[in-house]
């Protein structure tokens, strides 16, 4: 429930935490906050290239953050984001539970009706730098639960409408979700050091300099 509260609070404000050299082992990174406009300015701009992309290049879903719980990443995200917790049966089968898909504001009471969306789709990540990663890093990206923005439980309809499009071509149908979405998109690009193309950058600037100018972005480099 705490993790879900943090995800919901992100609808009002996201923040930016750059990676700093820790003075001692296991020290948490120091927090730094920036506006969405400044965060957009940190994203490197290059042309995208989808040559060689296959979805199987990103191994998912793996055993998740807790390899001993019997649940894969998809199930762990569903459990974390539930407003009313589902019952976890043998084999990590989820029954009951309630979720709200923030892309379209829909309440969902069946885990099977939800997709776990990669905030920056796998194909877009490939275009934006992941093609040069190791298979291990791509697996880490595809199963990233280290940041609330990376994976999100949404209705299958909204996720499939989005497909592999960036903010130049798709935004959540719920207007109330759009500033959160742009902030989380930028946070994910910065977390994984992914680039943007010109159209994508211009789309993000329109939101950052207009209706989402008060949005704050947070990220921790992976």
The string of pLDDT tens digits covering residues 102-155 is: 999 999 999 999 999 999 999 999 999 999 999 999 999 999 999 999 999 999
The string of pLDDT tens digits covering residues 160-185 is: 999 999 999 999 999 999 999 999 99
How far is Cα 42 from Cα 205, in angstroms, rounded to an integer? 12
How far is Cα 155 from Cα 148, in angstroms, rounded to an integer? 17
**pLDDT confidence of 6, banded at 50, 70, 90?**
very low
Residue 1: the pLDDT is 44
Residue 208: the pLDDT is 98
Is pLDDT above 80 for 28?
A: no
Picking from 164, 206, 169, 199, the residue whose alpha carbon sits closest to that of residue 45 is 199
Tell me which of 215 and 17 has the higher pLDDT.
215
CB 142 within 8 A of CB 122: yes
CA distances from 130 to 59, 111, 136 (A): 13, 29, 11
The SS3 assignment for 7 reads helix
The string of pLDDT tens digits covering residues 67-100 is: 899 999 999 999 999 999 999 999 999 999 999 9
CB 142 within 8 A of CB 60: yes
pTM for this prediction: 0.86
How far is Cα 77 from Cα 71, in angstroms, rounded to an integer? 10
The SS3 assignment for 111 reads helix
Residue 34: the pLDDT is 86
Q: Where are the beta strands (DSSP E) in 96-222?
A: 99-101, 106-108, 114-118, 151-155, 216-217
Mean pLDDT calculated for residue range 27-51: 85
Residue 33: the pLDDT is 66
Residue 26: the pLDDT is 53
How far is Cα 103 from Cα 172, in angstroms, rounded to an integer? 5
């Amino acid at each position: 429930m705490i993790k879900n509260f943090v995800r919901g609070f992100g609808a009002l404000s996201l923040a930016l935490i750059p990676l700093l050299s820790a003075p001692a082992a296991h020290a948490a990174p120091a927090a730094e906050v920036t506006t969405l406009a400044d965060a957009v300015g940190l994203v490197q701009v290059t042309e995208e290239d989808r040559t060689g992309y296959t979805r199987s290049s990103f191994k998912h879903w793996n055993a998740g953050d807790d390899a001993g719980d019997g649940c894969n990443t998809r199930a762990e995200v569903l459990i974390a984001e539930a407003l009313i917790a589902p019952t976890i049966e043998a084999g990590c089968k989820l029954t009951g539970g309630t979720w709200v898909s923030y892309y379209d504001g829909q309440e969902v009471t069946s885990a099977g009706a939800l997709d776990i969306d990669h905030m920056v789709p796998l194909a877009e990540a490939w275009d934006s730098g992941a093609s040069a990663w190791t298979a291990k890093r791509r697996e880490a990206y595809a199963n990233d639960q280290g940041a609330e923005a990376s994976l999100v439980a949404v209705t299958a309809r909204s996720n499939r409408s989005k497909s592999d499009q960036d903010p130049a071509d798709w935004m959540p149908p719920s207007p109330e979700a759009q500033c959160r979405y742009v902030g989380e998109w930028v946070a994910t690009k910065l977390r994984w050091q992914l680039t943007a193309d010109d159209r994508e950058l211009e789309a993000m600037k329109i939101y950052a300099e207009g209706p989402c100018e008060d949005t704050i972005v947070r990220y921790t480099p992976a």
